[in-house]
Amino acid sequence: MQDSLAESLREFDRQSRIGPVDIYPHMMKITFAMVGRSLFGARLKEEDIELISLAISTVQEFMVRQTIQPYLNPWFAVSGELRRHEEMRARAFGVLRDYIRRRRSEPPGNDLLQILMDARYSDGEGMSDELILSESMQLLVAGHETSSNALSWLLYLLSARPDCVDRVRQEFDSVLGEKPLSFSDVPKFEFTTQVILEALRLYPPFWMVDRIALADDRAGDLEIPRGSTVVVFIYGAHHSPQYWENPESFDHERFAKVNEKRHTPFAHLPFGAGPRGCIGGNYAVLQILMILSVLLRKYDFRLVPGQTIEARPMVILRPEHGIRMNFTESFPRGAGRLRTPEGDRLYVP
Ligand code: HEM
């Protein structure tokens, strides 16, 4: 994850020196490369990762159009749009299928794909290549768009709260010092975790989840006939004054340990709940912390004024017009300027 982050940040750094950057596509790129590396290791070529990434976003956008504008489906079929997207999907699957086959005959890697290939059911059987393909595609999709949206909203919220940014930086400094972040450090980030949870409350990437009732049921006064679609409106629960005081305001204190008991159960469910809840929550928090630890300590950042920031509920709650920000390299904290005959120099006391 660290290697992948270092590589992705080179491009981010180059762009941010030129002018304001839209953080949304950058966060997508960074998290996709990271999840791709965790899943498939460094042996999957960068151009293949890019092809898969493009296929996922293009096909997903098309699927949303098919759902929102179903009356266009006949047109998609005759105009060749459907076929074009099918082909794109097939190409991306083909690249991954070939990679999985190749890996079967190569020395073991240190990645999630290896774990999937080594996994055995209770009868000793392993997973077929097709199942591994489908599981890893699922992880790739579930593992980057969610975190990248969470990060984009988090940076947006933090841009209005320099006091929080300072405290997050202090926590990174005191927990990490100069060393890179690793998984065992995660529980030590008490304050930053509060900030992340509050951002996930205000902007839950999965703004709703749905289920189909397998049998007749009842919730309070509501009859739920078998076969109906039940929508759990996560965004609604997170913004309801019934469960939260001043629900629209950013207040990380809600998630301070002392206040935990005041929460209504299941009023905060960014990772879902029950047997089909998120299996990547810990990975996501690690990923967000890792990216924040580098971005916040390297840069000062400011929202470009005069832009409209709007949340658009697609499959994921995403910023409709992006979020443009200026990033400038910050001095190391505690650093100052040293006057010398040659001019000003940076010094770190
Ligand atoms: C901030 C980041 C994330 C959020 C907010 C999030 C949220 C969710 C939610 C709400 C669900 C439940 C969907 C439902 O009930 O229908 C879910 C499922 C899932 N998530 Fe995440 N997720 C995040 C990151 C990740 C990551 C990083 C991974 C993998 C590396 C991941 C893998 C999955 C998988 C595989 C499922 C399906 C589980 C199943 O159906 O049994 N998620 N996620």
Q: What is the pLDDT of residue 4?
A: 93
| Main-chain dihedrals φ then ψ at residue 318, nearest 5 degrees | -120, 160
Ligand 1 binding pocket, CB closer than 6 Å: 35, 138-139, 142-143, 146-147, 150, 205-206, 209, 270-272, 276-280, 283-284
Residue 21: give its domain's CATH number. 1.10.630.10
Distance 196 CA to ligand 1 centre (A): 16
**Chain center to CA of 346:** 35
Other C-beta atoms within 10 Å of 211: how many?
13
Q: What is the pLDDT of residue 42?
A: 87
Domain that holds residue 128: 2-347
Instruction: Choose which residue among 137, 271, 278, 285 to substitute to test ligand 1 binding: the one with the highest number of ligand atoms within 8 A of its C-beta.
Output: 278
Count of structural domains, the chain: 1
Which atom from ligand 1 is nearest to the alpha carbon of 205? 5
Q: Which of 25, 181, 289, 158 is nearest to 16 (CA)?
A: 25
Check whether 349 has a pLDDT greater than 50: no
**Chain center to CA of 322:** 15
Check whether 21 has a pLDDT greater than 60: yes
- The stretch 21-49 carries a mean pLDDT of 93
- The pLDDT tens digits for 180-195 are 899 999 999 999 999 9
- The stretch 91-119 carries a mean pLDDT of 95
3-class DSSP state for residue 164?
helix
Q: What is the pLDDT of residue 345?
A: 44
